[in-house]
Amino acid sequence: MTGESRAVKSKDEIDLIRRSSRIVAETLRLLESAIRPGITTKELDEIAETHIRSRGGMPSFKGYRGFPASICASINSEVVHGIPGQRALMEGDIISIDVGVFKEGYHGDGAATFPVGKIGTDAARLLDTTKASLVAGIAEARDGATISDVSRAIQNVVEGAGFSVVRDLVGHGIGREMHEEPQVPNFVTHGASPPLLRGMTLAVEPMVSAGGYEITVKADAWTVVTKDGSLSAHFEHTIAVAEDGGEMLTVC
């Protein structure tokens, strides 16, 4: 079987991914209501894990390749994979939270970047643009299109607003494994692009920098940051490829 055919799921499988993804969406909504100046990322992690387990799921990230927490909490110039700890949020911060849930043999994955109190206009525009790029990419995830159609839509929105697409990190297929084929870049790559087939399940996740697209990894070996220290935002939905565009599964 090819990577593309393995990515196609049955209706029953999509329903199971939807169940896990719904818990992801619930958790993100719960965390959004808890975000305020003074709360620590560890407290947010505890809120997330408690809710996920109360719904019969398990945090997909906890223990994954040694990751020590249930969510990724990435602040300001941190792009992804921030480890929750005793750091308290401050007025004007932005925080990207990535949540994964495993239930009944299938994963769901989603992320959003939230303001902490009142944020600056440039930060707000970064969040709005990144979210808009995700919506544009999902709209292109239709049967008969290609991964490049999704990538191009995301890239056009981001670069049209004067921001940069992070190049070294991409979206992915999802199902029984957290990361499956195919990869879903947020920019157009050279060469042939994999076709999209109805029933494919993908995690589409633009990661956007207000400055350059170069990144580096902090000494904790997990936290990815922008190399130039610029702000970064991250939005993600688990979707199923359908006739008229992607169906978002991370909704509640």
pLDDT over 90 percentage in the chain? 96
Q: Supply the pTM of this predicted model.
A: 0.96
Residues near 146 by Cβ (< 8 Å), separated by ≥ 6? 193, 194, 195, 196
- pLDDT of 173: 98
Confidence of residue 242 (pLDDT cuts 50, 70, 90): very high
- pLDDT of 3: 47
Query: What's the domain range around 189?
Result: 3-248
* Span 76-92, average pLDDT: 98
CA–CA dist 24, 57 (Å, integer):
10
Q: Tally the domains of the chain.
A: 1
- pLDDT of 2: 45
Q: Which of 53-57, 135-139, 190-194 has the lowest mean pLDDT?
A: 190-194
* Span 54-71, average pLDDT: 98
E strand or H helix at 23: helix 11-34
Phi, psi of 173 (to 5 degrees): -70, 160
CATH of the domain at 145: 3.90.230.10
